[in-house]
């Protein structure tokens, strides 16, 4: 695969075997994919890497689940906590059928709630 080829050696090469009749279409597709890859890399360059968390973020994510008990589905025992809820909703939305005219993304808003004199 392309990923493994890059991982082993920065100058690694790989081959794609196609029928001669399909070589023009394949070359065109590869050019398109290279352009898409460049565009995605430019757009994602400044996006936070979820694998690398600061110490404060890590501490917050550990403590946030103590604020509200997780929702548990009684029949299966499945749980959703505050820290896993957004990922679950995003995963659900990604599985919904859509087309190029439909943008299925969750919308949310934070509302401060006063409870026992605390916000």
Q: Are strands 79-80 and 71-72 parallel, antiparallel or unpaired?
A: antiparallel
Per-residue confidence (pLDDT) for residue 38, from 0 to 100: 82
- What confidence tier does 77 reach under pLDDT thresholds 50, 70, 90? very high
Q: Are residues 76 and 118 in the same domain?
A: yes
Share of the chain above pLDDT 90, in %: 13
Residue 59 falls inside a structural domain: no
Residue 36 has pLDDT above 80, yes or no: yes
Q: Does the residue 57 lie in any domain?
A: no
Q: Which domain holds residue 11?
A: 1-49
Q: Are residues 72 and 118 in the same domain?
A: yes
Please state the pTM of the whole predicted model: 0.40
**Residue 58 within any structural domain of the chain:** no
The SS3 call for residue 100 is coil
Domains of the chain: total: 2
CB 93 within 8 A of CB 105: yes
* Higher-scoring residue by pLDDT: 113, 52: 113
In a domain, 56, yes or no: no
**117 and 79 in a common domain:** yes
CB neighbour class for 65 (10 Å; exposed up to 12, middle 13-18, buried from 19): middle
Determine contact, residues 83/64, Cβ cutoff 8 Å. Answer: yes
Residue 26 lies in a domain: yes
Task: Check whether residue 45 and residue 10 sit in a common domain.
Answer: yes
3-state secondary structure of 105: coil
Nearest-angstrom CA–CA distance, 109 and 70: 20
Residue 8 scores a pLDDT above 60: no
Structure tokens given for 99 = 């087309």
């Amino acid at each position: 695969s392309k990923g493994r080829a890059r991982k082993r050696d920065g100058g690694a090469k790989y081959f794609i075997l196609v029928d001669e009749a399909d070589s023009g279409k394949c070359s065109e597709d590869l050019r398109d994919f290279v352009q898409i890859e460049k565009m995605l890399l430019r757009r994602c360059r400044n996006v936070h890497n979820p694998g690398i968390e600061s110490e404060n973020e890590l501490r917050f994510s550990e403590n946030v689940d103590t604020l509200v008990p997780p929702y548990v589905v009684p029949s299966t025992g499945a749980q959703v906590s505050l820290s896993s809820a957004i990922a679950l909703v995003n995963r659900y939305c990604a599985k919904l059928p859509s087309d190029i005219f439909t943008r299925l993304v969750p919308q949310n808003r934070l509302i401060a709630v006063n409870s026992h004199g605390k916000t």
